[in-house]
Chains A and B, each alone.
Chain A
């Protein structure tokens, strides 16, 4: 995408905000009781356009107002509306401190709207306090001020949330309460999103720029109205909603990853990547030659890493006497980052006396250089027919392109085929890869809310969600040479080249509707009854077309030729037809969900009870397109779950609650995991399993909440989950020394944990922290090798007890905040600690891949320069923390990212 368009757009909006008046009204908006400044409050005059929004320090200023009498109005969510008559005379500056009084929730009527600037930190605390269930909310303001530029990083600050990342990629999926991504779901504006990933259900949160978000809600318990397939929790990305007032914000910043202070950025020709495979270009009967495959994308060149640039703007207002509202939000992020890693392969040491412990067999040094371009556009339109009827149209479009070079040098250090006799000798493979991946995610939602009578609310939504991933021409080249025992080296030989065109897609159509009835029960009590349903039809496909290029044998000798450079390499196309018609990774699948629920909410003066039951019917199926017909090439699964829940909130005082809840929820296997086509490995084959059952969990929670002041809170809680049929990849069989793994169910796992959240301000200094402890346990089959008294050695399956995959024991988030309301400065130092985490299951008994404890430190700050401009700075990974994975005491991988920083400005109207 072109920068210039963005700059031009920003310029147009910026110049539009010009006035030609003369008086000024300014001041601060504060909470009546706590005297806390309130950010994001809208100060305006009743009959005139062009109010002002209070900044992060509660300050506002409206200038160039013609003299006259005005009624000043302030709307702020959770507070009573403020109105005051003032008189402005020419060329005067009037200082007005506005105090707002907190309003107690109105229980008597269903309201259609009434939202204002819900962006502020204070209002997210209020959402947590008033929510029906156990939630954590991160506001736009908190994200703006934190060091995080995407939803993934921001989410890391929520208690009991950690991120699962893959080596060399920025992909990030939420682990909630120690439960891996499969047990959680991600929503956009409350509705399930499709995943562009061919093998999973989830969407990488790193592709969602935090600029576009109004807030992120993490629900750790479910009410009947919520979709039931979340055991750990639900992450709801709420995109910006049309404001009550004209709103414009823009930001621009630039950054750099300091890993490129020490090395260059490895680049390749993006233009050489052919978007279509040979069979797509020339038809399936065409027999390609070596000329049909480009070479420049395997020619890796070094350059200085370009600067990371982030741009974004949001504009919104209401028209037609406030009936029509819209907001548009655009974010463009062009990031350059990299990592250096060591990646080792371990195998069992079978040498005498070594007791079959894992030992490193191969060492690879890898460098990744990645350009990630995120482009997000969120638009919202709503029309209020009247106070009782509103329809909204929301569209979220996310585009991500990742262009990555991976250079790897792999040395075999055990015998193998290498012929290594000591350090510095043996076989060396250079394995280099260029990769471009385009992901599109589109989510279109049309929804309406209608107050049918004072007691009756009807709301509905239709959602179309479509995600695709297109990764054309993933090119891999491997070269090999041998360092002889006398340290002489052979030349490089071309070993193998593979080219893969991959495409996958996931499309959902959902419709849902709810009817609510609410009525008062006496003066302070109320009851709300809700019923509704959902239907979703989801389809998914994956296509893969792989070409293998092999070295051309020499005409005379029949042998290989020496590799000098990529342009001179001589290869032949080994499989001229490609694999598109028969690749085992190709499949189509579908899923239909039919759900209905009944929910009640009883609000008594001291007690809220929300409960009811949800029924979810699932129909899933797949079709592979096998070369050899197989009885399992096509299957259908059906199941129905009954999911009761009950949440109690006892209001001890105005400022404290105690909550207890029970809910039942499920997790469905990814469609790919049902597809039984095997992927053959060296000694391990992975096969999907159509017999795998979906997971069902009973979840119990208790939490005490205290809200002493705005922006201050204290929570303490515990949870217990009994998970039936958890799905983990594990050993299937062990026949004649070949292992086979597949997703399987393992009886019952238990997860127990505790959480503490605390934040408080001491004058200008604040502290905010949370701590989570999680324990889980499951038994799975491993390979156990031993020698008995008669000196007979065997490898047999044996059950081993271990935590669930991806589960972290201790997670600590701690932030120190400095907020100077007068100088309009804000500084945040954020610390994150995660203890040892089971990253992957090792096939042998007694060992697993554990990610080692990590401490991250990041710093961010902002300083308001004038009425419109704020200077922003973000520095990540101050401690230069590596990601290290060990098997026992062996380092299996170690990846270093280095510090990264961003500096820039934010402009607001």
Chain B
């Protein structure tokens, strides 16, 4: 009996031992995906994976989403024309380099030429973005997940250079940049964007750089909004906002969320000088949670073409725009260097062509000319670190070229 018992035990351990030799390390394998190679870009229909150069004078039609892979570059020469169909979007995982010229801008527009009819540039993981002298019109159609699609969205610590370009008729946030990008956004014209919400420039989570000499007109929400991440206080978002002409923004979102010409909140730092701020729901609003110890501002011109304006949505509310240059809900206060209008005609910036429109719908054609007439109080009153004059159009010729 005892022998049998020992035999049984031995056989049990033998089984255990033989099973133990089955032990294997964990293996993770990804199924290989064949990524098609892209050919040279010749005129005509394009879709799918793309790299190369869009050529001068050629017209391209995007018929489905375009993706520029990591390491690839999509470039455009002056005068390249791109028409987008089927609410398609352009995904940039690599480099985008659109270089137009004053004489021959690059153009991106939808086939229908109606607001919100294509998907814009989705560049969350891009490697570099350069856009010069380019028209980007009628973006903001919803994406497949139902989310609002910004015209240009970037979520990467890269260089973003946007100069001398035109952005019109987007549907939500127009340019939204996050995750520590370094930005140069200068001499652009941004018009009539955001359906009932969305900022023109929404700069978040550690973005650094300059926003200067831009014209921002008729945005649903705020012109320029600065915020840092609420959980990661450093690096802070820190942007120099100077010599912009910011007109008639912030009305379509309604009085519960008034839009601002410039707002600074959530631990962000703004340096706000030499801007001309006309007919916005709120002017400069510094929220109490912004980094007010480092934020600096002054030499801004505030003007309203009307004494009161009836809220677009709730006609019982008569909005006194002048009281909201530095709204009571914020902690910013008028600076001695500011030019603050106290009645119609006082500190009128004297735009070359502006009829005093306060609120306009999304897609409103901006045919105004925000150059300044002779005798404008904006001349010679600037903070000279940035410029002698105020607004986007300065006498030294360094300002907006549109």
Residues of A within 8 A of B179 (CB): 735-738
B74: CB under 8 A from chain A? Answer: no
Asked whether A481 lies within 8 Å of B26 as measured between CB atoms, the reply is: no
Residues of B within 8 A of A739 (CB): 229, 231-232
B284: CB under 8 A from chain A? Answer: no
Asked whether B289 lies within 8 Å of A350 as measured between CB atoms, the reply is: yes
Residues of A within 8 A of B145 (CB): 546, 575, 579, 582-584
CA distance A416 to B220 in the complex (A): 18
Chain B residue nearest in CB terms to A618: B26
Selected from A492, A602, A644, A734, the residue in CB contact (under 8 A) with B16 is A644
Stretch from B4-12, B379-387, B393-401 that touches the partner: B4-12
Residues of B within 8 A of A812 (CB): none
A476-500 with Cβ < 8 A to chain B: 480-482, 484-486, 490-493, 498
B317: CB under 8 A from chain A? Answer: yes
Chain B residue nearest in CB terms to A429: B256
Asked whether B288 lies within 8 Å of A414 as measured between CB atoms, the reply is: yes
Asked whether A693 lies within 8 Å of B26 as measured between CB atoms, the reply is: yes
Asked whether B26 lies within 8 Å of A642 as measured between CB atoms, the reply is: no
Stretch from A62-70, A71-79, A633-641, A800-808 that touches the partner: A633-641
Asked whether B287 lies within 8 Å of A415 as measured between CB atoms, the reply is: yes
Whether A415 contacts B265 in the complex (CB less than 8 A), given A425-B329, A529-B8, comes out as yes
CA distance A584 to B25 in the complex (A): 31
B347: CB under 8 A from chain A? Answer: no
Asked whether B205 lies within 8 Å of A361 as measured between CB atoms, the reply is: no
Asked whether A795 lies within 8 Å of B233 as measured between CB atoms, the reply is: yes
B207: CB under 8 A from chain A? Answer: yes
CA distance A575 to B171 in the complex (A): 13
Asked whether A529 lies within 8 Å of B12 as measured between CB atoms, the reply is: yes
Residues of B within 8 A of A559 (CB): 196, 251-254, 312-313, 359, 361
Q: Would you give the 0/1 interface string for A452-496, flagging 1 where the beta carbon is closer than 8 Å to chain B? A: 000000000000000000000000000011101110001111000
CA distance A843 to B117 in the complex (A): 39
Asked whether A350 lies within 8 Å of B232 as measured between CB atoms, the reply is: no
Residues of B within 8 A of A734 (CB): 232
> In the complex, how many angstroms separate the beta carbon of A477 from the nearest chain B beta carbon?
15
Q: Which of B91, B205, B291 neighbours the largest number of chain A CB atoms within 10 Å of its CB?
A: B205
Stretch from B27-35, B37-45, B53-61 that touches the partner: B27-35
Q: Would you give the 0/1 interface string for B120-153, flagging 1 where the beta carbon is closer than 8 Å to chain A? A: 0000000000000000000000111111100000
Q: Would you give the 0/1 interface string for A545-579, flagging 1 where the beta carbon is closer than 8 Å to chain B? A: 01110110110111111100000000000111111
Whether A531 contacts B237 in the complex (CB less than 8 A), given A631-B30, A639-B24, comes out as no
> In the complex, how many angstroms separate the beta carbon of A702 from the nearest chain B beta carbon?
23
A784-809 with Cβ < 8 A to chain B: 785, 793-795
Asked whether A738 lies within 8 Å of B155 as measured between CB atoms, the reply is: yes
A613: CB under 8 A from chain B? Answer: yes
Residues of B within 8 A of A641 (CB): 23
A198-216 with Cβ < 8 A to chain B: none
Asked whether B27 lies within 8 Å of A639 as measured between CB atoms, the reply is: yes
Residues of B in contact with A, size category? 35 or more
Whether A416 contacts B360 in the complex (CB less than 8 A), given A598-B16, A737-B229, comes out as no
B257: CB under 8 A from chain A? Answer: yes
Chain A residue nearest in CB terms to B142: A575
Chain B residue nearest in CB terms to A641: B23
> In the complex, how many angstroms separate the beta carbon of B65 from the nearest chain A beta carbon?
7
Asked whether A527 lies within 8 Å of B5 as measured between CB atoms, the reply is: yes
Residues of B within 8 A of A582 (CB): 144-145
Residues of A within 8 A of B178 (CB): 736-738
Residues of A within 8 A of B255 (CB): 482, 490-491
A376: CB under 8 A from chain B? Answer: no
A406-450 with Cβ < 8 A to chain B: 414-421, 425-427
Chain B residue nearest in CB terms to A479: B256
Asked whether A550 lies within 8 Å of B195 as measured between CB atoms, the reply is: yes
Whether A490 contacts B289 in the complex (CB less than 8 A), given A348-B230, A560-B254, A738-B232, comes out as no
Q: Would you give the 0/1 interface string for A610-653, flagging 1 where the beta carbon is closer than 8 Å to chain B? A: 00110101000000000111111111111111101000000000
Whether A351 contacts B196 in the complex (CB less than 8 A), given A639-B26, A736-B180, A736-B206, comes out as no
Selected from A352, A546, A639, A795, the residue in CB contact (under 8 A) with B146 is A546
Asked whether B144 lies within 8 Å of A577 as measured between CB atoms, the reply is: yes
A753: CB under 8 A from chain B? Answer: no
Stretch from A10-18, A236-244, A380-388, A683-691 that touches the partner: A683-691
> In the complex, how many angstroms separate the beta carbon of B143 from the nearest chain A beta carbon?
7
> In the complex, how many angstroms separate the beta carbon of A130 from the nearest chain B beta carbon?
22
Asked whether A843 lies within 8 Å of B231 as measured between CB atoms, the reply is: yes
A347: CB under 8 A from chain B? Answer: yes
Jot down 20 A-B pairs with beta carbons below 8 A, ordered by A: A347-B266, A348-B231, A348-B233, A350-B228, A419-B327, A425-B329, A490-B254, A548-B146, A560-B253, A561-B313, A562-B313, A575-B145, A598-B19, A617-B22, A636-B30, A640-B24, A642-B23, A683-B230, A738-B205, A793-B233
Q: List 18 other contacts, CB 8 Å, given A550-B195, A553-B252, A558-B362.
A: A417-B287, A425-B329, A484-B329, A527-B8, A547-B146, A548-B146, A558-B359, A559-B361, A575-B146, A600-B12, A612-B12, A615-B20, A617-B22, A631-B33, A642-B23, A683-B205, A693-B26, A783-B232
Question: Which residues in A have some Cβ–Cβ distance to B below 8 Å?
Answer: 347-348, 350-352, 356, 361, 414-421, 425-427, 480-482, 484-486, 490-493, 498, 521-522, 527, 529, 531, 546-548, 550-551, 553-554, 556-562, 574-579, 581-584, 596-598, 600, 602, 612-613, 615, 617, 627-642, 644, 682-684, 690-691, 693-694, 734-739, 783, 785, 793-795, 843-844
Question: Which residues in B have some Cβ–Cβ distance to A below 8 Å?
Answer: 1, 5, 8-9, 12, 15-16, 19-20, 22-31, 33, 35, 65, 67, 91, 142-148, 155-157, 178-181, 195-196, 204-207, 220, 228-237, 251-258, 263, 265-267, 285, 287-291, 293, 312-314, 317, 327-331, 359-364
